[in-house]
Amino acid sequence: MADRVYLAATRLDENPQSFVMLGGAGLSAALALVEEDGGCAGFMGEGVAGDAASLVEPVFGYGAIAACPAVWAIGAATSSDGMEETGRDLTDGLILSYGVVGTLKLCIPRERPDGSDSMSFPSAHSAAAAAIAAVLWQRHGAQAGAPAALAAAWTALSRVHTGRHRPSEVVAGLAIGAACGLAVAEGDGGSGGGPLRGLAVGLVLDGDGLGVTLR
């Protein structure tokens, strides 16, 4: 496992992972300049949406930590190669995401909007949700990836609503998680072939201006 996670980490500077990370860093920095230091707690108001936001804490916290290895173990026990490989990639993606996020939390201490501690940047829950979505999309396509991506977006919004994070912090978490999930899925030897597998993203500057290339 350690070898796989290390190899995935070495792919974070490759496309499209690096593009996702740089884009997320830029958007996060821009939001940090304009957002309120106290965050946007309660912005979804009261009711079903606000109540549902509280579910994110257990689901993409300890729930994800337990569920991903469980999928791996069940796949191995039942000789389901697809499930085993998916569970392995989900677990590796979480480990890599938490490693990057944890390092940044220690290096860039920032008090949470609710004042509970100084480990607000970036959002670990958002990173975990995005890593899961990226792995599922790459391995199983939009049928599995799109709902997971919506769940990741909801996770980010919920963390802002509950006062645990500011917008810039959840955007950073989403970018880190997505990049880590892509890095893991890009290097697996399984049969999954998501839409971003092998995609190269670059910038080109010519007489007509600055542009983005995809190939």
Kindly report the three-state secondary structure assignment for every residue of 115-155.
CCCCECCCCHHHHHHHHHHHHHHHHHCHHHHHHHHHHHHHH
pLDDT at 189: 47
Spatial separation of the C-alpha atoms in residues 141 and 84, rounded to whole Å? 17
For residue 13, give both structure tokens.
Answer: 């500077």
Spatial separation of the C-alpha atoms in residues 138 and 115, rounded to whole Å? 37
3-state secondary structure of 40: coil
Whether the upstream peptide bond of residue 58 has omega within 30° of 0, thus cis, is no
Question: Under a CB-based contact definition with an 8 Å cutoff, are residues 21 and 179 in contact?
Answer: yes
pLDDT at 208: 54
What's the pLDDT band for 207 if we cut at 50, 70, 90? low
Convert the pLDDT of each residue in 62-118 to its tens digit.
Answer: 999 999 999 999 999 999 999 999 999 999 999 999 999 999 999 999 999 999 999
Cα separations in angstroms, 157 against 52, 179, 208: 11, 19, 38
Spatial separation of the C-alpha atoms in residues 153 and 6, rounded to whole Å? 27
Convert the pLDDT of each residue in 193-204 to its tens digit.
Answer: 555 554 444 444
pLDDT at 177: 98
Convert the pLDDT of each residue in 22-41 to its tens digit.
Answer: 999 999 999 999 999 999 99
pLDDT at 48: 74
Convert the pLDDT of each residue in 46-63 to its tens digit.
Answer: 877 777 888 888 888 899
Cα separations in angstroms, 83 against 13, 79, 88, 141: 28, 9, 8, 15
For residues 157-181, average pLDDT: 97
Above pLDDT 90, what percent of the chain? 75
Question: Under a CB-based contact definition with an 8 Å cutoff, are residues 20 and 178 in contact?
Answer: yes
Spatial separation of the C-alpha atoms in residues 185 and 54, rounded to whole Å? 30
pLDDT at 124: 97
